[in-house]
Chains A and B, each alone.
Chain A
Amino acid sequence: MKHIITALVENKPGVLARIVGLISGRGYNIETLNVGPTQDPAISKMTLVVPGDDHVLEQVTLQVGKLVDVISVTDVTGARHLDRELILVEIATDSVAQRAEILELTTRFQAAIAGETQRSVSLQMVGSSDVVSDFMLLLKPYTILDLSRSGQIAVARAES
């Protein structure tokens, strides 16, 4: 199954490479990876989405936690958490009707128009991984000129 692993790490060179090396060295593919500074600029937060065997990923998570520059690591998959992903997509629009369909989709998914030309429309959309996947599925019939996904980011939530 897919695991969402978050880690707080020292904002130093080489930390990302160590973590990625640990995971890829076991033959696991990192599906998405997001890194950014936190409220403390010396600390970065990473969110990784890794599909794979539960037992192996539990070991990988423990081994990531052992790295000297990793402050904490959590597999949030089974715990209460919020996760979101941002996508930016440019779609070719060949007709007025097509443009109208896309704009309707945009409204339904609470996406936004980030840019427009005569022959294309650029959308931004934020959602949980399921909603993003649904949105992508509905865009399939159209000609996608370019697409970028931020990868999931996640925060843990306190037990209610």
Chain B
Amino acid sequence: MKKKEAQNTDTRSGAQCVVDGLEHAGCEVVFGYPGGTVLDIFNVLCLSPVHFILSRHEQGAVHMADGYARATGKPGVCLVTSGPGATNTVTGLATAHMDGIPMVCISGQVALSAIGNDAFQEADIIGITRAVTKHNTLVRSADEIPAAIAEAFYIATSGKPGPVLIDIPKDVQRQLTAARPPASVSLRSYNPSAVIAPEALAALAEAINRSERPVLYVGGGAISANASGPLTALARKANIPVTTTLMGLGAFPEDDPLALRMLGMHGSAVANLAVSACDLLISLGARFDDRVTGKIAEFAPRAKIAHIDIDPSAIGKSVRVDFPIRGDAREAAEGLLPLVRPAAHAAWLAELDAIKQRYPLKYNHSDTVLQPMFVLEEIDRLRKGQGIIVTDVGQHQMWATQFIRHVQPRSFISSGGLGTMGFGLPAAIGAQLARPGELVVAICGDGGIQMNAQELVVAVEHNIPVKTIILNNGHLGMVRQWQQMFYGKRYSAVVLGSSNRPVNERIRHDTAPVYRPDFVKLAEAHGMRAARVTWPAEVASTLERAFADPHPWVIECIVDPDANVFPMVPPGAAVSAMIVD
């Protein structure tokens, strides 16, 4: 019956249905890498208006899709082959999963009849990615493809967003079907939205109105819900100081006097002390991560806690919650706005201002030794509040939270939950593709850039004008900092230059110490413009030249290898026990 119907109408291949499904979902860019089990999809993809970006490693493709999604709120899409192609996406999927980033990943699979036979390039990617995706599914018939793709986009973008993987066997891509994308998607087992109970909001508003020392604690959920506007209005109406998590940076403008900036392990002193002293902590789209709370028993010890989150399983996971509210961050902020009375909170704000004065962010500026913080300050000065800052993971990431003022949402892109080194460059490429007219600066360490440096060529061949700043301190700096502070200065496996390597690495000392690779030559080998900065006085002019140029750049800054990130809450300690310098 089905077959006859199919012959009578317009039939097309499963592979064509994949491409049609992507177009139907509004996908404009696909990142990926071909291979044996996705040949049929690539065979029709090249005829589609969808822009295809060929990464040089599947991990790069997933991080590009991730950066694209973070910069826009639209789902990032990637397409990879079976086996190693699919397994190479795992780190990227886990990165997106931890941070709640919408993504659709399509992987090829060996033919249905070969599954389970240890066929060439076979991997049980459904089993492997189960814990790092919001949802995944193996498609068993071409008839299922249009609905599977529509559902994947719906699941990826609704509720708490996340990555969805669709695994499509090669023979299924070659089957013919008359199936078409559904007009709308709803799943009886999946209810991503929640109506916020008015009485819960009223109770919280009453608590805010009674509070003398309130703090808003804002996370990535506020950015994915586009809640910046109402939350900023709410904070200003009742003079509530605001601290953000790493994922929440930019949700509230840091040039506002109410901004306490980031909290947590490398947060500002005032943010951590405010949380420790507040009487009401209003969490909006944040999840009380261990890097935020430190010793959980001493987190916000004097406060009633309100937790607003779209994910019901996040509420009450780490801390006891007095006002649990399941719902969208934007709807919650909009709902609270008329219920909250204007308040001055003058004594509380004065107290916090005094702490800000006492513990300013600082570093020892030098005219001869380039400090990484100075480079970041110069980047921030020259970008004039515009553009997107993307980071890799490590010390430079924390300095980028501290020495750059984050004033707009979706303008700070960083791997928060998973802490994925190698994220920065490909994510910046994805972000720049999404927002072509804007300045996109990728800030990387010399360790992280080497984890996905192969993607430099992608920026060059598409002329994606990302400015990649490598803060080269010759070390895996954050690990070195922990070894210095907590492991008796025994430096193990953290030196990247040729000298002072630990004995067990059995590396011959060069007569003249060298650093390999030469990042300027590496960039030039990819056809990219590049410069090396060693003196503080060269920073501004080099950045200005690169920022004004419509091509991608690498700027390597040789920075002080001994610089550390402060303040720091020692691991496992209460946030109030932070080390200021």
Give the interface of A toward B (CB within 8 A).
Answer: 9-10, 13-14, 17-18, 21, 25, 58-59, 62-63, 65-71
Contact = CB atoms under 8 A, between A and B. Distances in A.
A14 B137 contact: yes
A156 B87 CA distance: 42
Contact of B311 (A10, A13, A66, A67): A66
A48 B312 CA distance: 21
Contact of A13 (B135, B138, B317): B138
B312 A66 contact: yes
A59 B130 contact: no
A82 B394 CA distance: 54
B313 A65 contact: yes
B138 A14 contact: yes
Interface in B306-329: 311-313, 316-317
Contact of B313 (A14, A17, A62, A68): A62
B189 interface: yes
Of listed B126, B131, B136, B189, residue having the most chain A CB within 10 A: B189
B189 A68 contact: yes
B317 to A, nearest CB: 6
A111 to B, nearest CB: 38
Given A17-B130, A68-B187, 16 more contacts: A9-B189, A10-B189, A14-B126, A18-B130, A59-B313, A59-B316, A62-B312, A63-B313, A65-B313, A68-B134, A68-B135, A68-B155, A68-B189, A68-B190, A69-B190, A71-B189
B545 interface: no
A146 B136 CA distance: 39
**3 tightest Cβ-Cβ pairs between the two chains A and B:** A62-B313, A71-B189, A68-B135
A21 B155 CA distance: 20
B312 A17 contact: no
17 contacts: A10-B189, A14-B126, A17-B127, A25-B131, A58-B316, A59-B313, A59-B317, A62-B313, A65-B312, A65-B313, A66-B311, A66-B313, A68-B187, A68-B189, A68-B190, A70-B189, A71-B188
Contacts of B155: 68
A65 B313 CA distance: 9
Given A10-B189, A14-B126, A21 B131 contact: yes
A59 B137 CA distance: 24
Of listed A10, A21, A59, A68, residue having the most chain B CB within 10 A: A68
Of listed B130, B131, B134, B155, residue having the most chain A CB within 10 A: B130
A66 B131 CA distance: 13
